[in-house]
Amino acid sequence: MKSIVFVFAGFLCSIFASGREIISGKVVTVIDGNTVEIVAEDNETYKIQLHGIDCPELGQEYGEKAKRFLEKLLLEKPVSVELKGKDRWGNRLGVIIIEGEDDPRVELLEAGLAWTSETNPNPELEALRTKAKDKGKGLWRADNPTPPWQFRRQQTLTQFKSS
Whether residue 49 contacts residue 104, with contact meaning beta carbons closer than 8 Å, is answered with: no
Q: What's the total number of domains in the chain?
A: 1
Tell me if 2 is assigned to some domain: no
Taking the C-alpha atoms of residue 46 and residue 93, their distance in angstroms, rounded to an integer, is 10
Taking the C-alpha atoms of residue 34 and residue 32, their distance in angstroms, rounded to an integer, is 6
Q: What is the extent of the structural domain holding 52?
A: 21-158
Tell me if 122 is assigned to some domain: yes
Taking the C-alpha atoms of residue 112 and residue 136, their distance in angstroms, rounded to an integer, is 8
pLDDT for 161: 57
Q: What is the pLDDT of residues 37-67, one digit of tens each?
A: 999 999 999 999 999 999 999 999 999 999 9
Full-model pTM: 0.83
CA 67 to chain CA centroid, Å, is 12
Residue by residue, DSSP assigns 33-64 as TTEEEEEETTS-EEEEEETTEEPPPTTSTTHH
Q: What is the pLDDT of residues 68-100, one digit of tens each?
A: 999 999 999 999 999 999 988 889 999 999 988
Tell me if 14 is assigned to some domain: no
Find the CATH number of the domain harbouring 148: 2.40.50.90
CA 51 to chain CA centroid, Å, is 5
Tell me if 4 is assigned to some domain: no
